C-alpha cells in the first residue's frame, strides 16, 4: 500500500521483476536523449578571470557581422544569405528594359481598352432605343406581344442596331478615349457631341423624306463635321466622273477600302465613314510612335541574335532559329 501512494523509502519495484522480463524491458525502452555538445562549466581562477576582463574582445558583434556579410538581394529566395553570390549581379526585367517596355505595354493596353470604351459610350447614347427594344416584348396587349414575337421586334431592333453602330463611328471619328490620359470632362463633351451629330443626321433624313413626299426640292446636304463648308445640292451629289461628292470635301485615303461601298451609304454616312477611317489611322500612328522605342530595341536585339546564330550554324539555320 505504501508503494501505491509513492513511498520513496521502499525499494525499486522493478527489482522484484523476473530477470528475463526486466532484461526485455531494458531492451525495448528507447535510449535517453543526450545532446551532442554539452558545455561543461569551467571554474577559472580569479586571476585568469581578471586578465580576461582586460583583454579587448576581437569577436565580431552582430552589427559588424551584418556589415561584413554581403547584402542579400530582394529577389533572392533565401533571406538567410545563401547563394548571395549568384544573386549579386541580378537585375529585374523592368530595370533592364527600362521605361520602353512600360510604354509599349501602355500603348497595347490602351489599344485594347479603347474599343470597349467606345462601344460602352455608344450604348449609353442609345439607351432610349435599347429600352424600346427591351420593352417591345413585354408591353402591349396580347396581339401586340404576339406580333412582336413573330417579327422579333424588327423595327425596334433595326433602329437600335443603327444607333449603336453609327454612334460608335461618331465617337471614333471625334477622338473619344483617344488620349492616354483620361479626362472625364473632355470625354463627356465628346460623347454628347457625338449624340448631337447623330440626331442631326436623323433630322436631315426626316426632312428629305418629307420634302420628297410633298414633291418639293429636298434641302441641300451640309457637312456635319464642317458646317462652314459649301452645301451640296441633291441633284449634284455626283461629279462629272461619276464619283460621289462627300460633304465637307472629305476624300478617302489612298489605298484604303471602306467597310461598305460608298454608293450604298447616305451622304452623311459617307462623310462619317471617311472621318472614322482617318481618325483610326491617326490613332494607330500614335500607338506605334508610343511603342517605337521598345520595338526598335527589340528588333536590334533580334538582329544581334541572328548574326550570332549565323556565325555559329550558318545562314540558313541561323535565320530559321531566330
Q: Greater confidence, 138 or 159?
A: 159
Where is average pLDDT lowest: 46-60, 131-145, 286-300?
46-60
23 part of a folded domain: no
Range of the domain at 178: 99-293
Q: Greater confidence, 1 or 213?
A: 213
Distance separating alpha carbons of residues 176 and 136, to the nearest angstrom = 31
Collapsed DSSP state (helix, strand, coil) of residue 204? helix
* pLDDT per position as a tens digit, 31-84: 665 555 544 444 444 444 444 444 444 444 544 444 455 566 666 777 777 777
| pLDDT band at 187; cut points 50, 70, 90 | very high
88 part of a folded domain: no
234 part of a folded domain: yes
Q: Are 218 and 190 in contact (CB under 8 A)?
A: no
* pLDDT per position as a tens digit, 88-125: 767 666 565 555 556 666 667 777 788 889 999 999 99
Collapsed DSSP state (helix, strand, coil) of residue 122? helix
Q: Give the pLDDT confidence score for residue 165 in this predicted structure.
A: 94
Q: Give the pLDDT confidence score for residue 70 in this predicted structure.
A: 58
The percent of residues above 70 in pLDDT, for the chain, comes to 64
Collapsed DSSP state (helix, strand, coil) of residue 221? strand
What is the residue-averaged pLDDT of the chain?
Answer: 75
165 part of a folded domain: yes
What's the domain count of the chain? 1
219 part of a folded domain: yes
50 part of a folded domain: no
Q: Give the pLDDT confidence score for residue 1 in this predicted structure.
A: 46
Distance separating alpha carbons of residues 185 and 173, to the nearest angstrom = 18
Residues 6+ apart with CB under 8 A from 322: 302, 305, 306, 309
Q: Give the pLDDT confidence score for residue 73 in this predicted structure.
A: 66
318 part of a folded domain: no
The answer, yes or no, to whether residue 178 has pLDDT greater than 70, is yes
Q: Tell which residue, 227, 278, 239, has the closest CA to residue 256.
A: 278
| pLDDT band at 232; cut points 50, 70, 90 | confident
Write down the pTM of the prediction: 0.58
| pLDDT band at 193; cut points 50, 70, 90 | very high
The answer, yes or no, to whether residue 314 has pLDDT greater than 60, is yes
- Name the DSSP letter for residue 5: T
257 part of a folded domain: yes
Q: Are 194 and 178 in contact (CB under 8 A)?
A: no
DSSP state letters, 132-186: HHHHHTTSS-HHHHHHHHHHTSHHHHHHHHHHHHHHHHHHHHTTTT-SSS--HHH
Amino acid at each position: 500500500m505504501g508503494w501505491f501512494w509513492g513511498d520513496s523509502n521502499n525499494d525499486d519495484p522493478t527489482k522484484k521483476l523476473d530477470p528475463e522480463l526486466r532484461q526485455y524491458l531494458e531492451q525495448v525502452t528507447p535510449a535517453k536523449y543526450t545532446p551532442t555538445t554539452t558545455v561543461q562549466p569551467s571554474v577559472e581562477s580569479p586571476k585568469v578571470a581578471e586578465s580576461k576582463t582586460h583583454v579587448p574582445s576581437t569577436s565580431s558583434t552582430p552589427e559588424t557581422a551584418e556589415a561584413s556579410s554581403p547584402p542579400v538581394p530582394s529577389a533572392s529566395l533565401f533571406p538567410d544569405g545563401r547563394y548571395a553570390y549568384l544573386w549579386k549581379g541580378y537585375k529585374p526585367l523592368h530595370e533592364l528594359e527600362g521605361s520602353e517596355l512600360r510604354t509599349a505595354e501602355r500603348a497595347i493596353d490602351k489599344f485594347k481598352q479603347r474599343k470597349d470604351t467606345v462601344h460602352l459610350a455608344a450604348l449609353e447614347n442609345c439607351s432610349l432605343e435599347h429600352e424600346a427594344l427591351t420593352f417591345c416584348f413585354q408591353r402591349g396587349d396580347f396581339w401586340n406581344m404576339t406580333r412582336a414575337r413573330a417579327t422579333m421586334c424588327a423595327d425596334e431592333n433595326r433602329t437600335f442596331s443603327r444607333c449603336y453602330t453609327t454612334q460608335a463611328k461618331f465617337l471614333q471619328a471625334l477622338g473619344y478615349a483617344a488620349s492616354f490620359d483620361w479626362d472625364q470632362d473632355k470625354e463627356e463633351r465628346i460623347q454628347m457631341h457625338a449624340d448631337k451629330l447623330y440626331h442631326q443626321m436623323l433630322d436631315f433624313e426626316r426632312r428629305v423624306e418629307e420634302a420628297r413626299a410633298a414633291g418639293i426640292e429636298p434641302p441641300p446636304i451640309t457637312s456635319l463635321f464642317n458646317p462652314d463648308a459649301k452645301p451640296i445640292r441633291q441633284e449634284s451629289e455626283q461629279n462629272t466622273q461619276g464619283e460621289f461628292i462627300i460633304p465637307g470635301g472629305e476624300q478617302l485615303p489612298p489605298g484604303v477600302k471602306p467597310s461598305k461601298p460608298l454608293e450604298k451609304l447616305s451622304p452623311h454616312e459617307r462623310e462619317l465613314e471617311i472621318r472614322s477611317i482617318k481618325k483610326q489611322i491617326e490613332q494607330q500612328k500614335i500607338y506605334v510612335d508610343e511603342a517605337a522605342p521598345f520595338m526598335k530595341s527589340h528588333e536590334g536585339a533580334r538582329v544581334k541574335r541572328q548574326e550570332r546564330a549565323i556565325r555559329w550554324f550558318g545562314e540558313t539555320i541561323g535565320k530559321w532559329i531566330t
